[in-house]
Amino acid sequence: MRRRTLFFVLPPVLFLLAALSLVTGSYPLKLSDVPTILSELFMPSDKQSLVTRVFWGLRFPRTITALLSGFILGVSGGVYQLIFSNPLASPDLTGVASGASFGAALAIVLGIGGSFQRMGFAFFGGIMSLVLVLLLVNRAGGERTGSYVLSGIVISALCSAGLMVLKTLADPERQLSAIDFWTMGSLAAVSSVKAYPLAALSLPVIALMLLLRRPLTMLALGDEECRAAGLSPRPWRALLLSAATLAVSASVSVTGVIGFVGLIAPHITHFLYGRRSRAFLPLCGAVGASILTAADLAARSLGGGAELPVSIFTVAAGVPVLVVLLCRRRREGT
């Protein structure tokens, strides 16, 4: 009964959050604006009304990005926790967030281009983090998940050290504040220039992860069970980790580093759904999309006219989830 309820509750919740996201902001939109927005959709931008330009140029891309980035973090979190059989595994495990932060900070310090170039630097930093992790795992000659965990910790520490060096070199009046705000995550600067490339890149990767649920389930059972089923664990693990990290890199390059969504979305899904079956990953994505969209609504509504970092609210939502997880593990004696 609880599982069926989740399927009926999540879609209306997502629809409501998306609708609120479309109308909330410094320039509020009303239901009566819908006919104007739709009628001017194919008009040249210089002939559109202000309400239409705000909707299609800012609100719609921002809402799509919040839903898509939350879905990416939720699904990727589920992939990481299943592969590593670790309830604390998250997309940050491979150092992708630290690598993307370093890439964006490097672009800011060097004064290279605008937001689109910064996005490219962040994406490249995240991908390079994954490459370095895989190289370390290959060099160590280990197939166990512990090799990936330790390699991810090493690369994250290396990128964090580099980020601290860049903060030291940054201009305190302009660059340092931009680095700090970006590393806390925000959707304030999202526009169609960023949102649509993110969708084009990440949707095929998300589809790949959802299609590979059977190999993922076998990997969650352990290497021996995986080999018994005729699957070689090493290439499948590398493929799924690469897909998850690629999607997270694309998301982080647009929104900045948003903490805890990929960590808590699988736990909330497991608590509500009760098992990690075929529907687990899509539900993780839906829960992640709900969390991030709600956090973005709070970030733009509770700042007294100013945009607050999204991670303030995602971390605040993650604390009680982790406390409940800790208490449950204590009762289970693990």
Q: Which amino acid is it at 16?
A: L
pLDDT for the residue 115: 64
Per residue in 168-190, is it b (16+ CB within 10 Å) or e — as a string? eebeeeebbebbeebbbbbbbbb
pLDDT for the residue 137: 78
Sign of the dihedral defined by the CA atoms of residues 321, 21, 77, 210, in that order: positive
Tens of pLDDT, residue by residue over 67-122, are: 999 999 999 999 988 887 777 778 777 788 888 889 888 988 988 766 677 778 88
Mean pLDDT of 129-148: 74
Model confidence at 1, in pLDDT bands (50, 70, 90)?
low
pTM of the complete model: 0.88
Mean pLDDT, rounded, of the chain: 84
Residue 334 reports pLDDT greater than 70: no
Residue 333 reports pLDDT greater than 60: no
pLDDT for the residue 40: 81
Contact in structure between 263 and 73 (CB atoms under 8 Å): no
Q: Of 100, 89, 101, give the one whose Cα is nearest residue 263.
A: 89
pLDDT for the residue 297: 93
Tens of pLDDT, residue by residue over 237-290, are: 888 988 888 888 888 888 888 988 998 999 899 888 877 677 889 999 999 999
Scanning the structure block, which residue is given the tokens 């964006």? 104
Contact in structure between 87 and 334 (CB atoms under 8 Å): no
Which position has the higher pLDDT, 247 or 148? 247
